[in-house]
Structure 1
C-alpha cells in the first residue's frame, strides 16, 4: 500500500525532569488539561492533517500509552487504509536493540517506512502542546525543493541552551546549526518536527548508524547540512515543551486563560476517554450549593463540596466540604478530604489527602534531591500516595508513588523534601 506521506511519532523518551509523573508511565501518556494526554495533541494534528499511516515508536513504560492509543479509533486512524501501528524496540534480534536515540528509533524501523514507499516522512514528537496543519510544512518543503525541513520557533535568547538552534538565509535555507548552545546568534529553535524526502532520510540514517550516530539533532541534521538542501519552516503559533514540572504546570494553567493562545476546542483535539476496567461514561459532576469554584476546569464525575480556584481537575476528583484547592492540578479519582488545603501542587491519580492536611505550605526552598526539577515552589504527589489527616507538606516536595504518610512519623514535612 503506497502512501505519499507517513508519520513517525517518537513517544519513547523517559522525560526524567518530570520526576514522579513519569515513574509509572511514559511522558506522552501524562494527563493534561483534565481529560487529555500529552500525546493527544500530536495524534490529533496528524489526523487533522489527513495523514493516515502513523508509526508510534514506544520504549519507556509503554503500557498505559499503548492502551490509550489502542487501535487509533479515537482519532479515526483505523481501517483498511488508515492505521496506527505501535513500534516497540525489536529486542532479541541480532540487528536490533533498545532504541538508543531519536534517529536510531527511525533507523530500526526503516522496514516499516519502506512498506509504504512514501515520498515524504514526517517525524514528530509526542510530548509537545500545539496545533499545526502539517500540510503547510509539507507545501513549504515541496516549494523549496528541500531534502529536509525543520520546524522552527522563536524562543527567548536565555532559553537557547535547551534547543537545537538554526540560522537561515532569506529563503529559509538553514546555513548553520548548533545543538543546545550556551550562547547563539539566532533564537530559532527546533520544535522536533521534521519533513524528510524518504531516500535522503534512509541513506543518512544508515550513514549515521555506521558511525554510532543515534540522534537527529546531533548526528543526522549536521550530516544532511553538508550535502543536502535543509530548510527551516518558522512557526508563529502556540507551542509549548512540557518537559519540566514548572512548564507542565504553567501550560495546564494556560487552559484557564483566554488570552494564552491555548484553544483546545478550536484545535479539534481528540482523546480516548475510556478507562481500563470501567464500563460506560463518567457520571455528571456534582457541585454542592456551598461549593465555591473560580476560574477552574473540572471534568466529569467530580464531586465538589469545597473550594476550587485556578485549578485543573481530572475525572472523578472529590473535594470535600471545607477543603480548598488553589493553583493546582489534580489527576483522576483523587480525594481531597474535609478541610484539607492544596496549593501550587500537582497531585497524581488515586491519591488521598486526609482531613485537614496541608500541601504546598512554607518557604520555597529548592528540592534537596532534585534541585533542577523542583525550585519554583510546586509540590508533586505521586500516584496512589496516601497522606494521613493533619500532615503538613512544604513547597518543592516530592512524595513518591504508593507512599503512605502517617501522622505519627511525618507530622510536618519541610520544603524541599523527598519522601
Structure 2
C-alpha cells in the first residue's frame, strides 16, 4: 500500500451536530474516552501500509493541528512522505469556498506524488478496516473508482448517500437521502481510484463550476467511469448528527463491538497523554461503563463513558451519559441521557435528563 496516497477530507457537514462542533470540526470530536474521530480513518490507513497521508484542513483547524501535530503518534513523522496538510482556500474573490476548490488549488502536490492510487475519505465514520482488501477488489474488478459501503442493520435518521449495485458490484445508481432503512447500501464516504482519475475529476468538475467532489464529480460523471461498490461487513457507524454520536458511543458499551474496533483487528492510535489511573473511592459504584485515566469516582456511574480527569463526588448518579474531559459533578447531582462537553461544572443538587433519542447537551466550559 506504499503506492497509495491517503487523503482525509475534513470539509464535512456539521449542521446536525453543531452543539459539539462550534469550536471544532467533526474530525476532532472526542470519542470513546480518549480518542478523536479522525483516529479511526488515520489508523486504518497507517495499519494498511499507507505512508503518505494528506489532511485537507477545514476553516476551524486549531484542534486538528493540536491533535495530529507532526503525525508522530501514527508513525507519520517522516523525512520523506509522512503527514502533510492541504490548506483551505481563502480567496475572497471567489465565493466557492469548497472541497473541490481546495483540491484544485493543490493539484500540483498530487501531480508530483509518486503514488499510483489515491484513497479519499472523510473522518466522520467509525470503523477499523484493512484497505489492502479494498485495493485487491479494485484491481480484480478493473474499476476506475471503488466506493466502500455497508448495511447499517438499523434505521438511519440522518443524511446519507445510498448506492445500488448490480450482481457484479457495478454501481448503477447513487443518491443522497435524508434517511435510510436497515437494509440499504450506505456509502462510507471512502473512495479508491487511480491518481489519474482523481486529477481528471477535480479538474473537470471544478472548472465547470462544481464544489462537491461526490455530487459534482462522481455522481455527474458515472457514465464516464466504471464505479464499483465494495461492501464492508464489519462494524461501521457514520457520525454526522448528535443522535448518531450518542448512539455510536453507547454501542461501545457492547463488548462485542468494543473488541471488534479496538482489540480483534489492528490497533487504533491516538495522541499519547500520560495520566494517573482512575481512582474508585469506597462509595464508588460503576456498572458497564468506560472509565478513562485520571478520573476520581465517589458516586454511581452506569452505562456511561467518562473521559480523562472527570471528578464524580459523593451522591452523584450518572446513567446513559457521556462526560468529557475535565468535567466536575458535585454532590447529589443526577444526570441521565446527557452529553457534557469538556470542562463542564455541574453544581450540587442539579438534575439533568435528556431523551434516549435526543440527549441533553451541556456545551464546553458551562457551569450549571
- Do they superpose with TM above 0.5? yes
**Given the alignment, which residue of 260, 264, 279 partners 1:266?**
264
Give the number of aligned pairs.
364
Q: 2:309 pairs with 313, 316, 324, which one?
A: 316
Q: Which residue of 1 aligns with 2:318?
A: 325
Match of 2:297? 304
2:280 to 280, 284, 287: 287
Corresponding residue of 1:140: 137
Contact 2:127 2:261 in 1 (8 A): no
Q: 1:378: how far off?
A: 0.8
Q: Alpha carbons of 1:124 and 1:4: their partners in 2 closer, same or farther (altered >3 Å)?
A: same
For residues 218 and 10 of structure 2, the distance between their equivalents in structure 1, rounded to whole angstroms, comes to 20
Q: Give the distance between the partners of 2:306 and 2:96, measured in 1 at CA.
A: 36
**Worse-superposed segment, 246-255 or 110-119:** 110-119
Q: Which residue of 2 aligns with 1:386?
A: 367
Post-superposition offset of 1:162: 2.6
Q: What is the match of residue 66 of structure 2?
A: 67
After TM superposition, give the deviation of residue 325 of structure 1 in Å: 1.0
How far apart are 1:63 and its partner, in Å? 0.3
Work out which of the two has the higher radius of gyration on C-alpha atoms and give 1 or 2.
Answer: 1
The answer to whether the Cα contact below 8 Å between 1:325 and 1:342 also exists between their aligned partners in 2 is: yes
* Structure 1: runs of 5 or more not aligned: 275-280, 365-374, 388-419
Give the drift of 1:159. Answer: 4.1
**TM-score, scaled to structure 2:** 0.92
Which residue number corresponds to residue 100 of structure 1?
98
Whole-Å Cα distance in 2 between the matches of residues 32 and 302 of structure 1? 16
| CA-CA distance at 1:68 after TM superposition | 0.2
| Cα deviation code 1:144-165 (max 9, x no counterpart) | 1111111111246964983222
Task: Deviation per CA, 1:321-374: give whole Å up to 9, x if none.
Answer: 11111110000010000111111100011111001111117xx5xxxxxxxxxx
Distance 2:95 2:292 in 1: 41
Tell me, what secondary structure is at the counterpart of 2:228? strand
Q: In structure 2, what is the equivalent of residue 22 of structure 1?
A: 21
SS at match of 2:17: helix
**2:241 paired with 1:244:** yes
Contact 1:152 / 1:232 at 8 angstroms: preserved in 2? Answer: yes
> Could you say if the C-alpha distance between residues 298 and 68 of structure 1 is closer, same or farther in structure 2, counting changes exceeding 3 Å?
same
Matched, 1:351 2:349: no
On the 8 A contact 1:307/1:322 being kept in 2, the answer is yes
TM-score w.r.t. length of structure 1: 0.81
The Cα of 1:92 is off from its aligned counterpart by 4.2
Q: Which residue of 2 aligns with 1:129?
A: 126
**Aligned alpha-carbon RMSD (Å):** 2.3
| Equivalent-residue separation in structure 1 for 2:211 and 2:83 (angstroms) | 24
Q: Distance in 1 between matches of 2:306 and 2:157?
A: 33
Q: Find the counterpart in structure 2 of residue 400 from structure 1.
A: none
Look up the SS of the partner of 1:132 in the other structure.
Answer: coil
Find the counterpart in structure 1 of residue 42 from structure 2: 43
Structure number with higher relative contact order (C-alpha < 8 Å, ≥ 6 residues apart)? 2
The answer (yes or no) to whether the contact 1:14–1:60 under 8 Å persists in 2 is no
CA distance in 1, matches of 2:104, 2:200: 10
Shift of 1:179: 2.8
The answer as to whether partners of 2:242 and 2:358 remain within 8 angstroms in 1 is: no
> Pairwise mapping of residues 184-199 of structure 1 onto structure 2 (< 5 A)?
187-199=184-196
The alignment status of 1:201 with 2:201, answered yes or no, reads no
Distance in 1 separating the partners of 2:186 and 2:102: 22
CA distance in 1, matches of 2:321, 2:210: 41
Asked if 1 retains the 8 angstrom alpha-carbon contact of 2:59 and 2:88, the reply is no
Structure 2: 5+ residue runs without aligned partners? none
Deviation at 1:109, TM superposition (A): 2.2
CA deviation vs aligned residue, 1:228-262 (integer Å, no higher than 9, x gap): 21111111111001111111111111111123365
